[in-house]
């Protein structure tokens, strides 16, 4: 019988587990503390549970922590880790140290349905949703776990397309029984899905980043087919109903493609689209990927683009490019590993 992983369970789910085993209610909090504070790897280590209760728990559950199976290290300190996610499948988590910050980019799905033209994961197609266990394990089993200051749900997959599991993982990150991080340390990035966006905003306090990439609907649709189902103009209208002027930050991600969306008319359209919204824009340099006819804009163009937006009142930053030598663009390593696995099976 497959044992149920405890790591990734919320407090109320742990309460159900202990109740079903006839254990006292308070043991749920004790287990949460062993999992998320003391970060044990076996039930035997949960020494304030009686031997009888540990035995009962071990019959049906396990901790469910699994170390990464591979890692690629960049000269700039970025490390891309590969985690197993079911038979023959892998997901990536990218550790990005930067001065006194250390960010982990976490995956939410194996593959992705969104098919963004510029993305390697989109080319993989969709295989499966990650469970909350598989999402939290990327943090829990990270060798640099104790150095982490921030998490971005910006890895493989569309988090709003797996919202139940993602919300559980976010609850664990930000609750006092879990990692007890401020929601300001966690950002969820999304193309903007009609079904999940409103629920996420209302049920979580974490920061939100919307992948924008073009203010022109037709062009955005070409780059990101998700535009068809939920146009950026409607996303922005929905966002206008919420207050992002206080703790919670709203940002828009904008990959700058050479000769595609990097000129003045695009900057002007961006200003028009986002006028009056409390937000910022992050310009991102494009990492070229095989088989995709898109190039990244040069630094001079990006700087001019940023300066134009900032001088017109839209706070804009250029995200520093990290890990280029290890293909930090999401989906590259897992695609290679999956192919390697297929070859081994043939
Ligand atoms: S960019 Fe994100 S949403 Fe688009 S295909 Fe890649 S993983 Fe999916």
Sequential DSSP letters for 63-121: ------SEEEE-TTS-EEEEEE-STT-EEEEEEEEETTEEEEE---EEE-SS--TT-HH
Is the domain of 186 the same as that of 48?
no
Is the domain of 279 the same as that of 320?
yes
| pLDDT at residue 337, rounded to an integer | 62
| pLDDT at residue 346, rounded to an integer | 39
| pLDDT at residue 124, rounded to an integer | 85
144 noted as active-site residue: no
Say which residue the tokens 């990150």 belong to.
Answer: 173
Is residue 157 annotated as involved in ligand binding? yes
| pLDDT at residue 341, rounded to an integer | 58
Tell me how far CA of residue 105 lies from CA of 110, 184, 256, 280, in angstroms: 14, 15, 20, 20
Is the domain of 170 the same as that of 271?
yes
Q: What is the pairing mode between strands 61-62 and 4-5? A: parallel
User: For a pocket test of ligand 1, which of 113, 122, 152, 225 has the largest count of ligand atoms closer than 8 A to its C-beta?
Assistant: 122
Is residue 112 annotated as involved in ligand binding? yes
Is the domain of 19 the same as that of 115?
no
105 noted as active-site residue: no
Is the domain of 85 the same as that of 28?
no
Tokens standing for residue 17: 């587990």
HSE at residue 146, side-chain half, CA atoms within 13 A, is 3
Is the domain of 50 the same as that of 192?
no
Distance CA 8, CA 44 (A): 18
Ligand 1 pocket residue status of 209, Cβ below 6 Å: no
| pLDDT at residue 328, rounded to an integer | 55
Is residue 213 annotated as involved in ligand binding? yes
| pLDDT at residue 336, rounded to an integer | 61
Low-confidence residues of the chain: pLDDT under 70? 324-346
Is the domain of 22 the same as that of 169?
no
CATH number at residue 58: 1.10.150.530
CATH number at residue 218: 3.20.20.70
Ligand 1 pocket residue status of 166, Cβ below 6 Å: no
Contact 96, 104 (CB under 8 A): yes
Ligand 1 pocket residue status of 116, Cβ below 6 Å: yes
Boundary of a domain, candidates 62, 80, 104: 62
Boundary of a domain, candidates 62, 89, 104: 62
Boundary of a domain, candidates 62, 78, 110: 62
Distance CA 215, CA 199 (A): 24
Catalytic-labelled residue, pool 92, 165, 227, 253? 92
Number of Cβ within a 10 Å radius of residue 148: 18
Is the domain of 58 the same as that of 107?
no
One DSSP character per residue, 209-243 reads EEE-S-SSHHHHHHH-THHHHS-HHHHHHHHTTS-
Structural domains of the chain, count: 2
| pLDDT at residue 262, rounded to an integer | 97
Residue 142 is part of which domain span? 70-342
Is the domain of 91 the same as that of 113?
yes
Q: What length does the chain have?
A: 346
Tell me how far CA of residue 336 lies from CA of 121, 286, 331, 342, 343, in angstroms: 11, 20, 9, 10, 11
Ligand 1 pocket residue status of 121, Cβ below 6 Å: yes
Ligand 1 pocket residue status of 158, Cβ below 6 Å: yes
Is the domain of 213 the same as that of 323?
yes
Residue 3: DSSP 8-state:
P
Is the domain of 19 the same as that of 127?
no
Q: How far is the CA of 95 from the centre of ligand 1 (A)?
A: 19
Is the domain of 127 the same as that of 233?
yes
């Amino acid at each position: 019988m497959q044992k149920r992983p405890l790591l990734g369970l919320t407090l109320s789910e742990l309460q159900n587990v202990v109740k079903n085993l006839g254990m006292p209610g308070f043991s749920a909090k004790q287990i949460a503390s062993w999992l998320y504070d003391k970060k044990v790897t076996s039930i035997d280590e949960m020494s304030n549970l009686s031997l009888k209760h540990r035995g009962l728990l071990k019959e049906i559950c396990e901790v469910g922590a699994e170390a990464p199976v591979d890692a690629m290290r960049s000269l700039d300190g970025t490390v891309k880790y590969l985690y197993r996610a079911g038979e023959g499948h892998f997901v990536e988590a990218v550790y990005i140290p930067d001065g006194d910050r250390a960010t982990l980019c976490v995956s939410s799905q194996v593959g992705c349905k969104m098919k963004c033209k510029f993305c390697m994961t989109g080319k993989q197609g969709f295989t499966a949703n990650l469970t909350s266990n598989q999402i939290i394990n990327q943090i829990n089993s990270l060798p640099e776990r104790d150095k982490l200051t921030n998490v971005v749900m910006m890895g493989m997959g569309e988090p709003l397309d797996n919202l139940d599991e993602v919300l559980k993982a976010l609850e664990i990150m930000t609750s006092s029984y879990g990692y007890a991080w401020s929601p300001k340390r966690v950002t969820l990035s999304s193309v903007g899905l009609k079904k999940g966006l409103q629920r996420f905003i209302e049920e979580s306090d974490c920061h939100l980043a919307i992948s924008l990439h073009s203010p022109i609907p037709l062009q955005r649709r070409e780059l990101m087919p998700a535009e068809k189902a939920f146009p950026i103009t409607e996303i922005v209208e929905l966002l206008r109903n919420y207050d992002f002027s206080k703790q919670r930050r709203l940002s828009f991600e904008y990959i700058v493609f050479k000769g595609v969306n990097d000129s003045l008319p695009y900057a002007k359209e961006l200003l028009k689209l986002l006028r009056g919204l409390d937000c910022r824009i992050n310009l991102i340099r494009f990492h070229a990927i095989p088989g995709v006819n898109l190039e990244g804009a040069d630094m001079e163009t990006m700087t001019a683009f940023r300066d134009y937006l900032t001088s017109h009142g839209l706070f804009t930053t250029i995200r520093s490019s990290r890990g280029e030598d290890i293909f930090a663009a999401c989906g590259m390593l897992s695609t290679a590993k999956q192919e390697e696995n297929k070859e081994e099976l043939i």
